[in-house]
Amino acid sequence: MKRLSNDNIIGSTGFIMVANYFGGAFLFVSNIMLANKFGPQDFGYFKIIISLFSFLPMLIDFGIGVTVVRYVSEYYDSRVHPLIIKLLKISLIIYIFFGILLFLLKNQIAVYFLKSFSKVDLVLAGLALFFLIYFEIFKQIVLGFREFSIYAYSQFLTFFFISACALSLGYKFGVYGAIIGWAIGYLLGNILCFMYFIKKRIWIENNNAISANKVLREYSIPNYLMTMPSSLAAAVIPILSLFFQQSLIGYLSFSMLFYQGIVTMPNSFSSVLFTKFSQLASKTNELKAILVSSLAKYTKVAVSGIILSVLFSDKFIDIFFPIYSPSKYIFKSITIYAFLAGYFFIYRSYFSSIGKFKQLGLFAFLQNFGLLFIAGIALFFTK
């Protein structure tokens, strides 16, 4: 069984962070290029669809993703294999059911979120994204088995293929092509994790298996109910698109690129911490010591980042992205909050690993409602 020392945590986190940031760099550049190519209105359409159909898989996850990581990390042997297969099947059935429902509602989605019936083709492209995001569950399996190198490579490849496919198809076929390219990136980026799943031969029967029904009842569903507010982060753009004009949504979409880049670091850190917390779920003193140490390390990063945002964000926009100068207030508000959100990621990993669902739900709600509130206020004062 693989055990993680404190040094292993930092090393694994560093590897994943490097993969995320290099991949995120490709994604950021491609988004900036698409923003320049499409203009504020079409880029707004693009980000609404990407955000909406990335948010929906989170909404229908029902705790399955985090359950895979938690139980695979804890048991780490063939007893957990039938549980993985059962969760994969349940997840696939849920995707098919909701995918059909979304197809039937495609016209309504176009009218309410894109303000135009003529944009139904973009909704259909979003459905392709919805279905291909299913393959992300194989990353959770790999992470649970603590194969951090495979996980990191897959993260990088996902970012890279999303960037390359969205950019190339976007330039050739417009917003529709960019959405399809984004969807294809999820499929190509998870090939490594899917191959690992095949190699592990997880589908082989085990008579000493963990009860899937018990896990779903006692961990997955309670965890889902308490963390469901965390999906608000992915839904900020489509929710606010219901209330603000398209140009403001374009400015918010630009600022959210930086938010997503900043939270990559604490999110990566908390993902590795979650496996360590799960190993020590019954050792309260060790858990708290690791939590305090992790918070102290992250504080140095957060304070530095906030100071830089306050002092230099306006100049940064004026020099490098003058077309987005009207979004300075939005940009500064979002980036400062991104550094503060790192604390929530760490606490959520801690509470999730020990089954403290009320606390987990509270922190998830505060983190993501805070983002929605800050973004809404920033948009209001930018009008």
99-141 pLDDT, tens digit each: 999 999 999 999 899 888 889 999 999 999 999 999 999 998 8
Mean of pLDDT values over 311-319? 90
| For residue 318, pLDDT beyond 50 | yes
**What is the mean predicted confidence (pLDDT) over 249-278?**
80
Average pLDDT over residues 37-49: 88
Q: Which residues contact 62 (CB under 8 A, 6 or more apart)?
A: 90, 94, 220, 221, 224
d(CA 308, CA 180): 36
The confidence score (pLDDT) of residue 283 equals 63
The pLDDT assigned to 204 comes to: 60
Pairwise CA distance, residues 148 & 157, whole Å: 14
Residue 1: the pLDDT is 46
pLDDT bin (cut points 50, 70, 90) of residue 7 is very low
Distance CA 363, CA 374 (A): 16
Mean pLDDT of 341-358: 80
C-alpha distances in Å from residue 25, one per residue of 70, 165, 186, 260 = 29, 15, 17, 11
Q: Which two tokens stand for residue 345?
A: 């990621």
Mean pLDDT of the chain: 84
Task: Report which of 79, 50, 28, 66 is spatially closest to residue 202, judged by C-alpha positions.
Answer: 79
pLDDT at 66 over 70: yes
Which residues 6+ apart lie within 8 Å of 300 measured at CB? none
Q: What distance in Å separates the CA atoms of residue 169 and residue 175, rounded to the nearest whole number?
A: 9
pLDDT of residue 30: 93
Question: What size, in residues, is the chain?
Answer: 383
- Confidence class of residue 270 from pLDDT cuts 50, 70 and 90? confident
Nearest to 178, CA basis, from 121, 230, 95: 121
pLDDT digits (tens, 9 = 90+) for 147-196: 888 888 898 999 999 999 999 999 999 999 999 999 999 999 999 999 98
With bands split at pLDDT 50, 70 and 90, how would you rate the model's confidence at 345?
confident
- Mean pLDDT lowest for which of 30-34, 46-50, 347-351? 347-351
* CB neighbours of residue 45 within 10 Å: 25
20: left (phi over 0), alpha (psi -120 to 50) or beta: alpha
Please state whether 62 falls in left (phi above 0), alpha (psi between -120 and 50) or beta: left
Question: Which of 42-46, 257-261, 320-324 tops mean pLDDT?
Answer: 42-46
Query: Which DSSP helix (H) or strand (E) runs through 48?
Result: helix 6-59
The DSSP symbol for 281 reads T
| Of 157, 163, 140, the residue nearest 68 (C-alpha) | 140
